[in-house]
Amino acid sequence: MAALGQVTPMNNTLFGCTEDCGDCVHAACCQPCHLGTIAQRTGTGDCYGTCFVAWVIGPFYPCYAQGILQNALYRVGVNQPIGCFECCLCNAACLQCQVSREVNDRQAAAAVAGPAGSQPQVIVVQAPPAQVAYK
């Protein structure tokens, strides 16, 4: 984990699409749907809801995508800022592929590493006391 004020950069490059061609084709053919899958995988939104909003807002899509992608990166431990240049002037599909690969890599690494502590978490759930209604 990065120290306070330190930037944790992405490990994937912007034009590294050859590492995951299927993801690249998905983003190139339907950017809103691809954005929705990123939101769903990171818990930053619903796949269909994100896709629908992205379709509806039309020309404001890059601004919306920037927020979704930035939140997805925060969820996996990357605090590198995504600027307007990357979303508006660069190819948004390439940026989405970069973030998607980063999410995949970091989620896979977290799954292999397991939970932070060596002890499994135990959650105790106790039912509330029964209430009786008298007439």
Domain assignment present for 87 = yes
Residue 108 has pLDDT above 80, yes or no: yes
Number of structural domains found in the chain = 1
Q: What pLDDT score was predicted for residue 49?
A: 92
Measured in Å, how far apart are the chain's first and last C-alpha atoms? 59
- Residue 68, domain member (yes or no): yes
32 within some domain:
yes
Residue 120 lies in a domain: no
Identify the domain containing residue 25 by its residue range: 17-113
Long-range pairs for 123-129: beta carbons < 8 A, 24 or more residues apart: none
Q: Is residue 31 part of a domain?
A: yes
Q: Kindly write down the DSSP assignment for every residue of 81-120, as one continuous string.
A: PP-HIIIIIS-HHHHHHHHHHHHHHHHHHHHHH--SSSSP
Q: What's the pLDDT tens digit per position in 2-44?
A: 556 677 888 887 777 777 888 888 888 998 999 999 999 999 8
- Asked, for residue 126, whether it belongs to a domain, the answer is no
> pLDDT, tens digit, for every residue of 39-71?
999 998 898 999 999 889 988 888 888 899 999
